[in-house]
Structure 1
């Protein structure tokens, strides 16, 4: 674990000097020190960091929930659902079409629909933090799309598991979907109506007790969510959503920062450990086609979000590039596909596809102004920053 932290820190410091984001460098550290590349091997079994990596993902999504206020959900719920739905239709639909086009099989196509269709919540969150865009106007729609994706993810996994396991009972699939949906409903009701009670439970002036309390709640609910067939990440997100609206919310945001950053680095390092670059040549052309297709669909999704929210070219480009990354969910699907005995080309394809987008997405997000120049001028133009600051609040 110490070696992982040091390697991630050294590479990230070197990258900062030439303007590279930290995410691909953390992943690169895992690849270089893992069992799939020549030279020194820090960890021969990626599962040795599995629990710490899971904690990193939980904390990243917990922080995402803290930043997403219930007021935003109440006032912009319809727009959020529309933007998220359009994103899923474009990307999951393109993934399903691609899956059938490569001809690896129906089950494989269903897996590829999820791989190409769902963004990496962890990379999206880290990118927003690294680029100081948490307060940007387009960040709320980005977080909203992530929420819609996570809800879809819970239902998708519940429906996909019986298919991959060869279950012949529709009842089994519906039971899994029902459990997942029921648990999500309980969390949503708690977030909507239980804020005052939850706030009193976490109301303490002692920082030590507050850290132990919110960390315990986030990890516990994430674990329970997994038992109900819901991604652990969305369980942590919902806890963050509840606590972010309490009187302790601001203090929790400050206290979680070092934990989020430290274990987030371990998550991406562990992510790199699981990738074997040697598998990429076998499926190089399908990977490159899928990457190009994903970039194209994300540009369309950015334009759709801009139309829904009335954004200009730059926010549209930010939406398109920030949501581009694919990550932890794709690797979960790769594991499920391997256990189910699906086509052998599926695992190396997913590894290569995820690796390329995990590197390209943060770089593209940092240079989104290049894409903004190519987008239609007919989008709603943004107001200059100096005008926004100069205007009184009642004239906006």
Structure 2
């Protein structure tokens, strides 16, 4: 046991070092885990005599990965992109699988093994491609949408592939078609059970768990649901991954989706890392050393054929040539699920260790080249179709026509709020430009003659194209906190002196947005309340000058007097907002309360990040309590702060701990 523990520590140390090194050279962590597995494998460090022992735990990473995939699966999104998903995506998967299956048969592989190889070659790396596209800020471009559509279909195709591999290895005499029919029948039963549970049981379960406001219980329930769904499908002889995917899909439309994904991510990432380490341990370095030229040839054949087949699939469904070539360069590698299928095929003796090592080598090298290909995909595509590269030269409809604007207002996000602001700016003859990522809205607005341009404002090229260096104000109207922070920081880097006004619906993230560089943050709900108060004061006879002075004071103080409210039984508190809301609570000092006889200065509520909103004594409110005066029995302290801090401070005031 002691030796096993030491080996586990060594494995973790190697994994940490490899991930750090690979991140420094801008390569994905998946490759780091694979290399870590190679180093820890039998040919080098030989940390484990029986790698299959830890592979059992590593398979849980696949369960959580499919659960996360189910959470992200959106049926409406898939239907909206159905022409690309079921057109280009289906065409690419079928053609690539068929071509590589035929090649494997030509090289003497059995039909079942060739089917496995075809399935492996048809898949691309969702994790690497999406991460690279997101970091480049290209998620909303047509070429990225085509790549995402193909990846979405591949993710759907993974589930039947994982079901098919054990059926191909079935040694019984029943026909494959009968086995598939039985699997489909079992699948219908399992899907019926899980969908019923998802509709009637899981929403009530998670609502009850969320009401407890206990982090550990929510995480445990999430893990339990994923594992129970995986265990259910496994008991029917189907893949555990299928059950996890269905469980995630059922919860994907719920209000808890983002919190579920956040809770499961640490377990998923660690166990997926362990899975890829065990995959790397299967790599036979002696075979790679002996056949390195075949490995390099395999990488070249894989990537060239996949690029050509993606272009062909796009041509069949009349997709733009430049976008198709760019998507092909992005998707020409093997995917992480290819390794999953390879490991499953080895376990079921469909592939030998030698064959798996060769395929893993090809997959690892193709993934290592992927970040470079993604970054330069549009440059390569523009050369093939002989058109300007839009990554270097922004499209003409992205650059404002006519004279270059000076001292204009930039509106990022042209929804309801952005359009309302633009109308008033136009009425005052103030020049403005708007940028939005919704192509339909941009087309409608441009048809009406409004200066609205399509683009992702997190990209520096887009910001420069609309003259962020010459603008006098930038307004962010979209209510996406993480994206808003990113845009604020990017704008501040280009033009540090530019005032940035940010609209947000609630006040949860005021301080974070100010720290990111926002000049003014306007929380919609608090501002609406402030306008309501102004009307009430005006109708109550308060002079307008005093009202305006009070409104300015509230805004200057970041709405300090408007933060905090007394919660009630009907107050909706979600798991994701419980630590962002600010509650007010009245604490009555009983005769044996810890705070009795002590002064406010001694209690130091500010140091506990709690504000004192008021002090009541003998049914009278003390407006400005003396911090050195001792508190008495029956005093009521009105405190405000985050819910958990309020609970802790109440316990401190009453019990002293």
Scaled to the shorter chain, the TM-score interval is: 0.7 to 0.9
Instruction: Check if 1:32 corresponds to 2:43.
Output: no
The structural deviation recorded for 1:169 is 3.1
Match of 1:242, SS? helix
Match of 1:202, SS? helix
Match of 2:81, SS? helix
1:178 matched residue in structure 2 = 181
The structural deviation recorded for 1:304 is 5.4
CA contact (8 A) 1:280 1:349 kept: no
The counterpart of 1:331, out of the listed 332, 343, 354, is 343
How does 1:1-396 map onto structure 2 within 5 Å? 1-37=8-44, 40-77=45-82, 79-119=84-124, 124-125=126-127, 128-129=130-131, 132=134, 136-137=139-140, 138=145, 140-154=148-162, 156-157=164-165, 159-162=167-170, 165=171, 167-170=172-175, 173-185=176-188, 196-197=199-200, 198-203=202-207, 204-205=209-210, 206=213, 207-281=215-289, 283-284=291-292, 286-303=294-311, 312=323, 316-317=327-328, 319-321=330-332, 324=335, 326-337=338-349, 346-375=352-381, 376-377=384-385, 387=398, 390-391=434-435, 394-396=441-443
CA distance in 2: counterparts of 1:275 and 1:367, whole angstroms: 25
Q: By percentage of residues, which structure has more helix?
A: 1
State the structure with more CA Rg.
2
CA distance in 2: counterparts of 1:363 and 1:224, whole angstroms: 39
The structural deviation recorded for 1:249 is 0.7
CA contact (8 A) 2:38 2:280 kept: yes
Of the structure 1 ranges 126-135 and 361-370, higher mean CA displacement relative to structure 2 is found in 126-135
2:604 matched residue in structure 1 = none
Pick closer, same or farther for the CA change 1:261–1:109 going to 2, 3 Å: closer
CA contact (8 A) 1:65 1:238 kept: yes
The structural deviation recorded for 1:246 is 0.6
Match of 1:43, SS? coil
CA contact (8 A) 2:37 2:280 kept: yes
Of the structure 1 ranges 353-362 and 285-294, higher mean CA displacement relative to structure 2 is found in 285-294
CA distance in 2: counterparts of 1:255 and 1:319, whole angstroms: 30
The structural deviation recorded for 1:59 is 1.6
Gaps of 5+ in 2: 1-7, 399-411, 414-433, 444-657
CA distance in 2: counterparts of 1:181 and 1:302, whole angstroms: 30
The structural deviation recorded for 1:109 is 3.4
CA distance in 1: counterparts of 2:241 and 2:255, whole angstroms: 24
The structural deviation recorded for 1:160 is 1.5
CA distance in 1: counterparts of 2:128 and 2:247, whole angstroms: 19
CA distance in 1: counterparts of 2:128 and 2:188, whole angstroms: 27
TM superposition score normalised by structure 1: 0.81
CA distance in 2: counterparts of 1:65 and 1:27, whole angstroms: 25
Pick closer, same or farther for the CA change 1:249–1:289 going to 2, 3 Å: same
Q: By percentage of residues, which structure has more strand?
A: 2
Pick closer, same or farther for the CA change 1:233–1:319 going to 2, 3 Å: farther
The structural deviation recorded for 1:13 is 0.9
Match of 2:385, SS? coil
The structural deviation recorded for 1:248 is 0.8
TM superposition score normalised by structure 2: 0.51
CA contact (8 A) 1:179 1:229 kept: no
Higher relative contact order (CA 8 A, sep 6+): 1
Pick closer, same or farther for the CA change 1:278–1:131 going to 2, 3 Å: farther
Of the structure 1 ranges 17-26 and 228-237, higher mean CA displacement relative to structure 2 is found in 228-237
CA distance in 1: counterparts of 2:293 and 2:358, whole angstroms: 11
Gaps of 5+ in 1: none
Q: What is the alpha-carbon root mean square deviation over aligned residues? A: 3.6
Cα deviation code 1:103-138 (max 9, x no counterpart): 24445434433443445xxx5336534764699243
